[in-house]
Every structure is written in C-alpha cells, then in structure tokens.
Amino acid sequence: MSLNLEYYDWLIVEDGFHPEKNREMESIFSLGNGKMGQRGNFEEAYSGDSLQGSYIAGVYYPDKTRVGWWKNGYPDYFAKVINAINWIGIDILIDGEKLDLAKCEIIDFRRTLNMQEGNLERKFSVKLPNGNIVSVQSIRFLSIVDTSAGAIKYSIKAENFEGEISLIPYLDLDVKNEDANYNEVFWEEEHQEISDETAMILGKTKKLDFRVCSAMHSEIYKNGSQQEIPAENIKKPKYVATTYKVLLKQNEELSLYKYVINNSSLDHPLSDIKKNTSSQLKYVVKKGFEQMLREHKEAWAAKWRESDIKIEGDTAAQQGIRFNIFHLYQTYTGEDERLNIGPKGFTGEKYGGSTYWDTEAYALPFYMSTAGKEVARNLLLYRYRHLGKAIENAEKLGFKNGAALYPMVTMNGEECHNEWEITFEEIHRNGAIAYAIFNYIRHTGDTGYMADFGLEVLIGISRFWSQRISYSGDKQKYVMLGVTGPNEYENNVNNNWYTNTIAVWTLEYTLQNLKSLKKNHPEKYTALIEKLHFNPEKETSRWEDIIQNMYFPWSPEFKVFLQQDGYLDKEDVTVKDLDPDERPLNQHWSWDRILRSPFIKQADVLQGIYFFEDKYDTETIKRHFRFYESRTVHESSLSACVHAILAARINNMNLSYELYLRTSRLDLDDYNREVKEGLHITSMAGTWMTIVEGFGGMRVKNGMLSFYPQIPEKWVSYSFNVRFRGNLLNILVNEHIIITNKTGDKIKVLVFDKAREIEKESGISIHISSMNPAG
Amino acid sequence: MSLNLEYYDWLIVEDGFHPEKNREMESIFSLGNGKMGQRGNFEEAYSGDSLQGSYIAGVYYPDKTRVGWWKNGYPDYFAKVINAINWIGIDILIDGEKLDLAKCEIIDFRRTLNMQEGNLERKFSVKLPNGNIVSVQSIRFLSIVDTSAGAIKYSIKAENFEGEISLIPYLDLDVKNEDANYNEVFWEEEHQEISDETAMILGKTKKLDFRVCSAMHSEIYKNGSQQEIPAENIKKPKYVATTYKVLLKQNEELSLYKYVINNSSLDHPLSDIKKNTSSQLKYVVKKGFEQMLREHKEAWAAKWRESDIKIEGDTAAQQGIRFNIFHLYQTYTGEDERLNIGPKGFTGEKYGGSTYWDTEAYALPFYMSTAGKEVARNLLLYRYRHLGKAIENAEKLGFKNGAALYPMVTMNGEECHNEWEITFEEIHRNGAIAYAIFNYIRHTGDTGYMADFGLEVLIGISRFWSQRISYSGDKQKYVMLGVTGPNEYENNVNNNWYTNTIAVWTLEYTLQNLKSLKKNHPEKYTALIEKLHFNPEKETSRWEDIIQNMYFPWSPEFKVFLQQDGYLDKEDVTVKDLDPDERPLNQHWSWDRILRSPFIKQADVLQGIYFFEDKYDTETIKRHFRFYESRTVHESSLSACVHAILAARINNMNLSYELYLRTSRLDLDDYNREVKEGLHITSMAGTWMTIVEGFGGMRVKNGMLSFYPQIPEKWVSYSFNVRFRGNLLNILVNEHIIITNKTGDKIKVLVFDKAREIEKESGISIHISSMNPAG
C-alpha cells in the first residue's frame, strides 16, 4: 500500500502531492490509445524528479548492445520503443515567474485517472514564490476515436492577484532516454515550422529512419470566451512554441486548449506525413475539444460494455481489475498486426516496449475473450510475419532446414536480448507461440487459420525442437540439454520438464494438423510442403521417434515430474523456511545462491500443468501444486496468476484469492517497489485470467465454454463477459452462476461439466453453493 | 606461422616492415623489467595502426563495470593496469618534415629483440616524401639493474642530403586506453616542469590516486662527439618536450641518448617522489648509456645462467622456449609481493594486467624452480595479503564465519570479473590457491610457511568449501551444485569432479596441517584458532563428514570420473568428428551449442588427474586421458601443457610433442590470431612445465626430485636448471640423463624411481633409451 491511493470503483486518485513518489504516480497515471502513450507527467514545467515519457507505437531504436563479455550469436542491438517528442508541454509564467510545482507552496493537489471515460485530470492550487496564488485545472486524453490526436484543456485562475500570465504551449523533440546504453540522443530534427495557426516538428530517429510528425494548435479562452491574442512564436533547434500573454484580474480564469497530432511513418508515407498531419489537426480542431472528449468517452463506454468485470463487495478488488483492463486496452487495441504488447506498455522505458512470450502465454486469452477473434488473430499474425526472422535467428545458432527459434525479446522479429542463458537457452518461448495457435483455434473455432498460417509456424518450431533435442546414449532416451525454463532462477539445466513437455506437445500437434490438412485440404497440404521443402517421411519419423522416446524427469519418491535433472539434489527447504528479511531473493541473494537453491521464480512445471491440465487428474494436479508452490517465491509478476488459477482448480479458494490479490493491485499498491519504472501490463492480463479461469473456472472443452464457478468469501458477486465464437456471454457469479447469452444464437455451455443450452438473448441460473466445484 | 619470423637461437627478428601486422609485432617486441613494460612501439611518430602501450606495475584503474544485465553481487569495477605515460617518444623533423614510417618509402627495416641481452633494436632506411633519405638505428632497454630506468639511443644519418634535423624527445601523458568501458581518460596531470637539464611530469590516476612521476634527460652527439645545442622547451597540458635542432651534412650521423625514470607511488612516498625521480635520473645519466647497457646485459646473463633451457637440434623450439622464459622474467621478478602476473603481462591491455588462477596453477612451478623460494613465496604472500578481501568477497555472496572466496580476477584482492558463471561459479580457483601452498612447501621444504601464513589461508578456503557444499537427500551424499569448472565450455553444472576433488583435498590437507601444527607448535595452534575464532570440534567434524561422504560422478561403463553430472547425456562425438572449418568452436558456434556439446575447452578432469597424479595408476591415467583428450578442443592457451605432460606420463611422446608445439610458439606463430592484443604470458610457464615435467618427467616424491626423462624424436638434447631447496641442478637429456649438482651439498634424486646420490659440484649420467620411462 505504499502509494496510499484511495479506493474508488472507477477512479484512481492521488490526493495531495507526493514529489517523492512522483515517478510512481506518473506510471500509474499513464494514458494510451494503442497508437501512443504518455506517462502522467505535468504539462507545466517541473524541476523535481520525473521520468518524462511519450511513446509512439512501433517507433523504436536499435540501441547498440552493452555486454560484459561478448558471446557468439549475441544480437548487435536491443530494440526499444523510445521516449519521443514532448507534446504535452505548456510553460506557464505568472508575472514572469515560471509555474513549477517543485518550487511552489502546494495548497491542494489532486490527480485523477478516470478509467470509465479515459482521461487524466489535475486540480491544484499553489502559491508561487512571488506570493501569487493560482488554481489550475487540467484535463487531457489520447483519443481512441481520432487515434493520432491528443488534447489538453489547461485552465488557470488568479486567486489573489492581478497580473500577466504567459501561456507557452510547445513541442519539444530535444528529449533523451534514461535507458540509453551509450547515452546517445536518438532523435534528429528534419523539419520544423510555426505560424499563428499551427506548429509542427518532423523528427527522425538516428537509426532506422522512423519519422514522427507532430503538430499542435492552441486556443485561448478567458472566462469562457475565446480570445484573439497576438502570438509570439519561438523557434529553437528541435523546439517550437507559441507565447500568449494575457492580463488576468483576480478570480478570472484563463483556459488553453492544446490540440496535438502525432503521426509516425508506420502509418503515413513520407511524402504525405506533413500534409496528413496538418489536415488531421485541422479536423480535430474543427471538431473541438468537447466533442472529441464526448466521442472518446462513448468509445470507452463501448469497450467497457464488453470487457468490464464487476465485483460487488470489494472496492479495492473492483478498482484493481478495472485498472488492469483499462491499461491493457490503452496499450493494445489489436487493429495493427505490426504492433504487440510490451511488458510495460507505454508507461516506462524498461523492457523497451518489446515483445516477450508474455503475449502468447498471458495476454492472448484476455484479448481473445474480450476483444474477439480479429484482435487475437493479429497477435498471432505478428509472429507469422516474423517467421523468416525466427528462421534466421535459429540459423545464427547453428540450426538448419527452416528450423525457427522465435526471439526472447523483439520488435521486428530479430532477437534483442543478450544474456546467453536467456537468449540462447530460454527456448520454451517457442512452445508458447505454438500453444497460442492451439489456444486461439480452440477458442475461436477459426480452423482456417491453421491451414493458412498456423501450420507453417508449427513446422518451423517443430523443426527446431527436432534439431534441438538430442539422444542420450546413457539414458537411451531423447533429452534436451542446456535450457532455461520459465523459472529463470535456474539457468542452463538439462531436461526442464516444461520445455520437454511443450516441445513434444508441439511435435504431436503439428503432426496431427499435418495429417488433417493432408486429408481435408490436400492441395493446401501439397503447396505447403513444397513451399517449406518439407520431407514428410524423414522429418515426421524423427518426430514420432522423439514423441515415443522422450525423457521426462520424474521422482518416484514424491510422484511429481521434476523441474529438471538433479532438482532433488537441492536443499530440502521450502519458502516458509526463508528469512522474510531476505525476500525478495533477487534483491538479497547473489545469483549463484539463487541458482543452486530450490526456490522457483514463477510457474515452471506448473505452467505445463496449467497449459495441459486435461492430461492430469485432480490428485496429480494437487500433488504438483503442493510440491512446487511451496518452493515458489513468485518474484515474477507473471507468477501469481497461474498459481491462483490452479489453486482454484484444486478447490483452495483461500490461497487462490491470496494469490489473486498479489496481481490485482500489484501496481496500484506498488508491491514490488518498481512502479516508478512503469506498469506490469502483461501481468494485468493474468489478473483477468485469475477471475475468469480461476474463480469462474472457465475452460474450453469439446468446443464449448465450460464453467466451474467459485467465489471468494469476501465478495458478494462478480461478473465478466466472454466472446466465444459467435456469442457474447455475460457470466455473473454470486450464490448462483447466471449466464446470459447477450448476442449470438442459441449456445450450449458446460456448467460443472453438465451441458446447458442458453437461448438467444436469454440466460440460465444455477445454484453453486451446494456443488463440489472442482472434481 | 602467420608472422613469418625467422628462427634464431637468441633473437626475434622482423625483417622488412609489415604495417598490417604492426600490432602483432608490437606485442612480440615488448620489453619489461617487472616494474614496467613497454610494447614495441616506435620512438618516432607513427600514424599507421598501432596500440600504444606503456604500463607501470601495480598502477591500475577501477573501470566502472559494463554489463548487459546486472546481477546481485557483481563487482562495481574491472581493475586494469592502464596505458601510462608515453616516455619513449622522440619526434624527428627532417627539413621540417616529420619522420613517420607510414608516410615514407621503406628502403629497409629490421626490428630485433635480443633475448640474451634484453634489448630491442631497430635499423631502417627510408625516403621521406621530400626525397631525403635517412638511416636510423635505435636501441632501447628497460634496465633490470636500475629498475626505474629506461634508456634509448636513437641515431640518424643523412644519406643523401644536407639539412636541418630537429630531435624532439618528449614525455606525453595525454594517453588513452583502447579498452575503457566508457571512453574515460584515466590520467590527470599534477605537475610538470622542464629545464635544459630535465623534463618531468607527475601524473595521477583519476581514481585511486596512483601517481607516476616520469623524468627524462637527453644528450646529443654528432659523429660521436657530444654537442652543446641550445634546447627549446615545449610545454603543453600533459606534455613536455625539448627541441634540438642540428644541421647535418650528408653521411653525418646524429645520436640522441634519452634517459628516463618512471616511478610510481607504490614505491615512493608522495613527498619524495619528484626528488627521488630527479636524483635517480642524475644517477643513471652519470652512469651513462653504455655502462647501463653493460650492467643490464650482465644481469640478463645471470638470469639465463639459472633459467635457460637449451635445445639442440630444433632452432624453432629453442627460440620458442627462450621467448617464453624471456617474457616471464620481463613480467615478474618476484621482488615485490604486491605484484603478480597478468595473463598478458605488460604486452597489451586485455585482461588488464590482473591476477587469475593462472598464477597458482601454471606460473608458480616455473618461478619456484628457476627463481627460487623467495620469489615463489612472494606469489603466495600476495594471496595471503588478500585473505581479508577474499572473506569480504565470500560475505557478499552470503557466506559467513571467515569463509574465503578468492576472486577470479583481481588487482587488490577485490573481485573484478562480472559474468555470473565465472565470478560466482568458477570457484575451483580457490582450490588452486590451496594447492599452490602444498606445491610450494613440497618443492621448497619451507614448512614454516604453513604455520605462519599457509594454514590461515587454508582454513578460510576450507570454511568456504564446507559452506558451499550441501547435502543431497536424493543421493545421500554431499554435493556441490552450480559451479563452472576449468572447462569454461560448461557453465552452472552440478558436481564438477575436479572442483569436488580439489575441495575435498583442501579439507583433508587443512585437517592434516591443523593436526600437525597442534602437535608440533601448540602455542601457534592456539594463537591461530583464537585469531580465526575457529571451533575445532564443530568445524572439523563437518569437514570429516564431507570427506567421508562426498559424491564424485563416475561412469561404470567407461570407468572414468565424469566431468559433471549428466556429462554422458551429451552427444557421443569426439574432436575428430568436428568439421575443421568450424574450429575454433568459440569463433563459430553460439554459446549454447558449445555448452551442450561434449567438447572441452581445457583440462578439467585431467587437471585433477595432473594435480593428484600420485593417487592414480598409469592405467587409470591412460583411460581418463584417452576419454577426455579426444573431446578436448584446446581453445585455452592453458590447455595444451597439462595434456602434454600427461601424454608424456603415459608414454605417448608423439602426442606430447605435438601438444608442446602448440604452446611453445603460440605467440611467435600467432596460432590463435590474437597476438595483436598481447602475449599469453601465463601459458608461457606451461611451456616450461611441458619440458621439465613432461619430457623431463620431473616430480617431487618423498621430498626428493624425481625424473622420468624422455626426449622428442627430433631433438638431439635438451637441458634445464632446477632450484630445489639448497641445490641448483642442471639436467641434460640426450640418450642419457646427466644431472649436475651445480651448487649446494650432496643431494639424493630419483631417476626412474631409483635413488641416486649426486655429490657436491659433480654429476651422474644414466642411459635412458633402454628404459621403459613411464611405469
């Protein structure tokens, strides 16, 4: 609770100014619209501690790699979405003195994120060093209707004086990344212009030649009436501004409307980018702030209608889940298959806005269920488009014949990460990409995707596994040596059970789909194997052999699959034996100590149990959960959700709820003391999964949605929506589960494994308290 | 043979100028005297490719660490002996045109390293762009008598013109390291002065405040007579110079004698450093160049008398071994216990002049046998002085109670390395430091060292092993998890046999010495255990338990100790199965591929077999050698020597000689294409070991020197000297082994395991060809 934010259903409120927590608040109060994002920085000057952050989707920089010791195969650069033009800036001078909250006496201060309507508001009163007191109210948003546009209304009132106010809206490209390996400046200016009407800057990244064209237009109102004020333009390198000077009497209020368009060369040909930016600016200015805000609010309302989760009886939880859903939609809207979901979204520099396996393992289910098929499909197509690069990546590591290794971290399909134990060895990511295809088709029923795109990716990945797996003469089994599993607190281990499992599953799934394609679409099959130079006999016979003879580490004593070879050589201690002062381990223990300890960062064997739950009976799941959860320190933001879902699966709702709490308000309560670096966007999807798959017990079985609902003791009810194939369902859980078929035809669902039909636009209600929910 | 150097017994000669190999040649032609070192850079200006290198022993810089991803426990800096003042520089202007070999037509050029006399000579004739032809002869040396002094005689002759020659000797502190993590300049100037007599610069390192005070004095001769020439002084920041202008007629010769003193604050209090430097300069100037050179030559002759290895019948081998011995003595003379032996000595920036386990495992035997007890003892005391830092280092990693982990790389006892798999896990280095104590006492008989210094180090190391080893409930044995063995082509393995072996040996050896100290010197014993808060019952009983119950991986199938758990899961291939185009692997394979392959970088199990040879019969040694050598790619310069010694041990002289050749001319023939970065100083000691321990079969057994001599087919004879306790022996091997007791009393030695007495100043001769040398 280190941020002390109050509980509201729809708002996040910082009451009083907390300069020592300003970076944290800037992360929390970030806005985004899928195309761009903006940390909760102030419009006016601020000389206190702050991380300026303005990010344009897909505009990244290949920052030259920094390593201690070079290894063959390391990438040359780390791609990062970079801090871009400061477009929110408005300098304020009051009788010549700059308004700067770090230098004023704060009378009151309130920053509010309105998640329902998608805007950020600030209200504050301050006394300047010269004794003048002003009240300020600002509201801004990044439109999800006009997705190039941001708009700000900035109002200032003279409380105790009469004096000259200078309003100086500006565009400033003279920005840096804090996270720059060699302190490079990433931006060059290609063009700037300014007239009374508009100011514009066209920036270019020093590498890759991305362009971002930004233009602004400002209007001044006094006491509600628009003013014609002579503007004084300022031009400096990478900077354009306009100064408006107004004499304000006591209690008069001045308002500045600042309209901005940011366009990148991803969306506009270079020849048109300036022209398009100008005309879009004209368009939004003409539409006007209030109308833009109205449309934006309505668009958010529509999003919420389909994706909201309502929780009765627990405002903290309600706020938490909405905060998560809100940021997920601010980060990714699914309209552009070139974009993806960085672990920090648009809320900070860390992890550089790049794509990790988080997308497939954690984020996909959320978007698939709430935003629907096309959005999920775009997430898959992102990887399909990168298949060529994944093959190149595998070739760099010595693989051949179209074997594909997807990168651990990427922007354009090339690997960016440069720790060998991750880059070269954390190859289970490849399995998650295969699994996402399965998961997508299972949920959406879009079998056509397999023939057109999916199988090509699966063959690339299967070829990789087939070459990466080797034969142990000693074990007389196939083995996979030298890997890092999802539990990154082990490096370079042999036979990580999860990786072995998902590799063999990939081979099985690929074979099965090859057969079915050959049978159902022989012409597509022929075209595909020709395109890929696929040798069905030779390649599949090795796959079959691996499937039959793969080694999976197993403990007869504990009757559990072992995380890896030798896991039982570790000390026999569990998390409860740890000194609380030494946690989190990754801040207290040296790396070698972590590595040789039995402690687990995040779900590893249990990730496999979660993915392939159908294969294991409840007793097996219980045994594995007890064994591994007791050794898991949950030091990844992605850990709690999988455990929470499994805890619910084995009927341990108390633990499930406890784990849920860790993810749901992870950022709002800054559990890990790292919110200042940005929010944990991908883990937010895990929170959604915990409610839907954990408490709701939702699965897809035999082509049907299936529910095993439970409810945390503290809650009165919760409800969520799910898109499933042609339908949109609402699921409300209290003592009953009430499923409403909101759109689409009659649908059959499973509740406690019993099939129930729900008519069009109607619902069913089943009492749950008497049931034994989890087998 | 990429450097194409001709074969000479005592000389290294570059005939003709090879600008494309200039960096390589600069390494080869390095000079040093233990106190300072100087790459073979030119005195006159050179605008071609060059790595300027002037190094002052012990003067290092803590260069801020550069890592890709920070891990807890990483050191903050990498200490490196840095490029220091350019003191050799002499700019030459000929009729106003600067002499620069990159811009002249080369008529002839010859650079000669005289290893017998310890100097570097250059002779060349060039035509300048202005048509003037000059002949130059320069000779320089770093005195091993006046160890602060360097001297240069630089002569220039006008071949085809009459004109004005400007000679500009200078001191230049405006130098940089190529290897600087953040392009920092490491030096500041504290003081400079110049008069007709002398010029001086006092430099200070920006961190740690090391001072280096350098002073120069020059004299000009024309056609052999000293000239009184008005000197024109030049002062710039970090630079002082004197210009002498002389009119030279055709065929006249001008000579400049440049005397330099370099003193560091390691040897001089700050209050006296300038004064001492001035007076030393006066002293050597008074002594004069020729006398200095004479004394220097005599001192080298004395060194050679005791350390030379003579090889008849193989000039390449002769030159190779002398090159190695020469550079070993240029790097380290053993007079200062604060100094040690960097893997590149004073010949380049790489590995930063820091200390590695190379010293204990490879360099100690050479110095112990050739330079004697005091020098070897100083190498041990270096680590004794660092014990406190080693304990701190272990504490950083979570160890307690005086456990000591010596650093992988260090200058002052603090860890500098920052790859977790090395820094935190390559802990066998601790064992080598313990083993060196044993090796030293075995050879020198200096048992007093154990009581006064050795045991304290052994207890620190034993405490570390005791805490680092854990108990496996699964194996019901003690195990050591998460280590990297000497074979760095495996990282983070469990139960590396070598590390387990040397750890248990350390515990045994420490216990044995504790017992004997308690018995023989009870008062010292009591003082020691009090000083160390040593709990004999509790601590030693755990040690005993570990000794009794340690796990050592073993293959019943191959009857070999396994390098680590799971080694037999690797592909069953050997080095002969490798595509030669893919070697060296470290330049062709990605790191993960190397790690999961069975290929071995350097002796690992065999390092243990080598160290503890007495424990294993010849059949066991043979079996292990065949198994592991066939999987070893020898991609460390330290690999071949251990294998060569073991090959000789099992009577495989052909392979032994083949491996010997790889080390002996490693740098002269630039096998690994990296000589430009500097020479492989520590591996040079391995070459010496190969001849003495490999071919000569020298061991210490029961307090006696023991020999099992063999001779490579190609050789007529070889001979070497060994200091052993009170004696200096010469061993000559041809068809006989002829051992001469040069100094010291009557001595008993073993030859082919038979004891022989050798009287004072006399010798024995035994025919070897009929013997079966290796058991």
- The average pLDDT across A57-68 equals 88
**Active site residue: B488, B539, B629, B635, which one?**
B488
Give the H/E segment covering residue A109. Answer: strand A105-114
Task: Quickly state the pLDDT bin for B67 (edges 50, 70, 90).
Answer: confident
CB-closest option in B471, B569, B588 to A481: B569
CB-closest option in A69, A418, A570 to B419: A69
Do residue B482 and residue A65 have CB atoms under 8 angstroms apart?
Answer: no
Q: Which residues of B touch A485 (CB under 8 A)?
A: none
Task: Quickly state the pLDDT bin for A491 (edges 50, 70, 90).
Answer: very high
Query: Does A68 have pLDDT greater than 80?
Result: no
Please report, as a single letter, which amino acid is at residue B10.
W
Q: Tell me the average pLDDT of chain B.
A: 95
Do residue B570 and residue A481 have CB atoms under 8 angstroms apart?
Answer: yes
Is B575 near chain A, with CB under 8 Å?
no
Which pLDDT score, from 0 to 100, does residue B774 have? 46
- The average pLDDT across B592-615 equals 97
Which pLDDT score, from 0 to 100, does residue A731 have? 98
- Rg of chain A over Cα atoms, rounded to whole angstroms, equals 27
What share of residues in chain B are helix, strand, coil (percent, to 5)? 35, 25, 40
Do residue B72 and residue A586 have CB atoms under 8 angstroms apart?
Answer: yes
Is B558 near chain A, with CB under 8 Å?
no
Which pLDDT score, from 0 to 100, does residue B64 have? 87
Which pLDDT score, from 0 to 100, does residue A518 have? 97
Is B180 near chain A, with CB under 8 Å?
no
Helices B455-468 and B428-444 meet at what angle, rounded to 10?
150
Alpha-carbon torsion angle B291, B294, B300, B304, nearest 10: -160
Which pLDDT score, from 0 to 100, does residue B115 have? 98
Cβ-Cβ pairs closer than 8 A, A with B, add up to: 130
Indicate which of A70, A415, A492 best probes the interface with B, i.e. most B CBs within 10 Å of its own CB.
A492
- The average pLDDT across A224-243 equals 95
Which pLDDT score, from 0 to 100, does residue A602 have? 97
Do residue B72 and residue A590 have CB atoms under 8 angstroms apart?
Answer: yes
Q: Which residues of B touch A181 (CB under 8 A)?
A: none
Q: Cβ distance B672 to B666 under 8 Å? A: yes
Task: Quickly state the pLDDT bin for B350 (edges 50, 70, 90).
Answer: confident
pLDDT per residue over B537-577, tens digit each? 999 999 999 999 999 999 999 999 999 999 999 999 999 99
- The average pLDDT across B212-227 equals 96
Which pLDDT score, from 0 to 100, does residue B70 have? 81
First vs last C-alpha separation in chain B: 37
Q: Tell me the average pLDDT of chain A.
A: 95
Do residue A596 and residue B470 have CB atoms under 8 angstroms apart?
Answer: yes
Give the H/E segment covering residue A166. Answer: strand A163-172
Which pLDDT score, from 0 to 100, does residue B770 have? 53
Do residue B72 and residue A589 have CB atoms under 8 angstroms apart?
Answer: yes
Q: Which residues of B touch A571 (CB under 8 A)?
A: 470-471
Catalytic-residue membership of A488: yes
Task: Quickly state the pLDDT bin for B1 (edges 50, 70, 90).
Answer: low
Give the H/E segment covering residue A157. Answer: strand A149-158
Q: Interior CA angle at A29 toward A25 and A32, to 5°?
A: 145
Indicate which of B591, B597, B674 best probes the interface with A, i.e. most A CBs within 10 Å of its own CB.
B591
pLDDT per residue over A368-411, tens digit each? 999 989 999 999 999 999 999 999 999 999 999 999 999 999 99
Do residue A72 and residue B471 have CB atoms under 8 angstroms apart?
Answer: no
Alpha-helical (H) ranges within B332-470 are 358, 364-370, 373-385, 387-396, 420-423, 428-444, 448-449, 455-468
Do residue B568 and residue A471 have CB atoms under 8 angstroms apart?
Answer: no
Nearest-CA distance from B454 to chain A in Å?
28
Is A578 near chain B, with CB under 8 Å?
no
pLDDT per residue over A167-202, tens digit each? 999 999 999 999 888 888 999 999 999 987 789 999
Q: Which residues of B touch A418 (CB under 8 A)?
A: 68-69
A residues 44-73 closer than 8 Å to B (CB): 65-69, 71-73
Q: What is the DSSP string of B142-197?
A: E-SSSTTEEEEEEEEEESS--EEEEEEEEEE-----SS-TT----EEEEEEEE-SS
Can you say how many angstroms the Cα of residue A700 is from the centroid of all Cα atoms in its chain?
24
Nearest-CA distance from A404 to chain B in Å?
16
Query: Which tokens sit at B367?
Result: 């110095």
pLDDT per residue over A656-675, tens digit each? 999 998 889 999 999 888 89
Which pLDDT score, from 0 to 100, does residue A775 have? 41
Which pLDDT score, from 0 to 100, does residue B771 have? 55
Name the residue in chain B with its Cα closest to that of A397.
B590
**Active site residue: A121, A414, A488, A629, which one?**
A488
What's the pTM value of the predicted model, to 2 decimals? Answer: 0.94
First vs last C-alpha separation in chain A: 37
Do residue A569 and residue B475 have CB atoms under 8 angstroms apart?
Answer: yes
Do residue B66 and residue A69 have CB atoms under 8 angstroms apart?
Answer: no
Q: Which residues of A touch B470 (CB under 8 A)?
A: 570-571, 596
Which pLDDT score, from 0 to 100, does residue B74 have? 86
Distance CA A93, CA B495 (A): 69
Q: ipTM value, please give it.
A: 0.92
